[in-house]
Amino acid sequence: MTAFTHQLAAHCESGVTASLLTHAGLQLSEPRALGIGSGLFFVQLPMDGLMGAPSTSFRSKPGNIFWKVTRRLGVPTRVQRYRDPRRAHDELLRLVDAGQLVALQTSVYFLEYLPRRFRFPFNAHNIIIYGRKNGRWLVSDPVLDQAAECDDESLSRARFAAGLLAPRGKAYWVERIPDGTASRVNEAMAAGLRETGFTMGHSPIPFFGAKAIGYLAKRCEAWPKRFAKEPQKALLLLANVVRMQEEIGTGGAGFRYLYAAFLQDVADTFGDSEYARLSERVTAIGDTWRKFAGAAARLFRGGQATPELFAPVVELLRGLSTAERTLFRELSAHGRGGRKALPAVASPT
């Protein structure tokens, strides 16, 4: 069994997916994992919160990146959930002792190796367990620059935390890399491009895709008036948007930079400079998302919420909605019939 090498990543699920497949024998970068897995997405639900969580999301449903990447590559996997923490512990120990790399869905709040200031109730953080030493689990957390260790109690609490997106002991791993998998990578990249181009640029539902960023702008514009007597509520809602953008797995600006790297990879792989130009535009969009976060942070510090103060961030959101919808529609059209039309996707074996 090849020794495992910890890799720092920008996002937990794309990083874990890339690490699992690379360790199993298929070299895969994190940008490719994000692109093939169609991880870039946007959701704005028509309510201020959902079960106590923000109603804004900058990414696809947790778990989808790993599922789509392995499905499109035809890689067999196992996903297990448990009701009994003791059984979950024993089976993880058995797998690790057999040399199996195992990824877990966990709650950030209970991971003892993270600094206290970084812990908050978020139940969809992905980590890899790659060994055990002196009664402690050896952990590869892709958002840390070095591997870590975790005790049994902390890991169990993290795996069985309650609340939204409760992990329920979820463990998943790659069983093997079939012969010929490498030849499917180009087709998988094409499939990821097509899906992201459609979901971001052409979604008919106003709560999904780039159109939903404009919907967020409308809601944001209304908050100062709705909460004129309680301006802190308007500021808190705006803060939650930035939190989802900058803290929950870099799903906002960070995902745009990762996706720009994926598009540059596509340009090199398919020999099509149009994807390189689109990559540059995605990078510029990521810069604008960071500008939005900075403007919103200045509002928090000011402590006031008026329509006039909110107007600049609202305009940034409207501009982002237009820019992303235009870009992903162009990406979708180019992928269907551009100068270097993407290959058709073979059926999974």
Q: Please say whether the beta carbons of 108 and 125 come within 8 A.
A: yes
Express the helix, strand and coil content of the chain in percent, nearest 5 each.
55, 15, 30
Query: CA-to-CA distance for 117 and 342, rounded, in angstroms?
Result: 45
Q: What is the mean pLDDT of residues 38-49?
A: 88
Tell me the C-alpha to C-alpha distance, in Å, between residue 63 and each of 60, 105, 125, 142, 292.
Answer: 8, 9, 10, 15, 28
* pLDDT bucket at 345, cuts 50 / 70 / 90: very low
Express each pLDDT in 216-230 by its tens digit.
999 999 999 999 999
pLDDT for 120: 81
Express each pLDDT in 297-333 by its tens digit.
999 899 999 999 999 999 999 999 999 999 999 999 9
pLDDT at 47 over 90: no
Kindly tell me the burial class for residue 98, based on how many C-beta atoms sit within 10 Å of its own C-beta (0-12, 13-18, 19 or more): exposed
Q: Which long-range contacts (CB under 8 A, 24 or more apart) does 296-299 make?
A: 296/238, 296/239, 296/241, 296/242, 297/242, 299/235, 299/238
| Class of CATH domain 12-174 | alpha beta
> Which amino acid does the sequence have at 92?
L
Kindly tell me the burial class for residue 163, based on how many C-beta atoms sit within 10 Å of its own C-beta (0-12, 13-18, 19 or more): middle
Query: CA-to-CA distance for 175 and 172, rounded, in angstroms?
Result: 9
Express each pLDDT in 69-105 by its tens digit.
999 999 999 999 999 999 999 999 999 999 999 999 9
Which residues of the chain form CATH 3.90.70.10?
12-174
pLDDT for 117: 81
Q: What is the mean pLDDT of residues 44-50?
A: 81
Q: Taking the model in full, what pTM does it have?
A: 0.91
Q: What is the mean pLDDT of residues 41-49?
A: 87
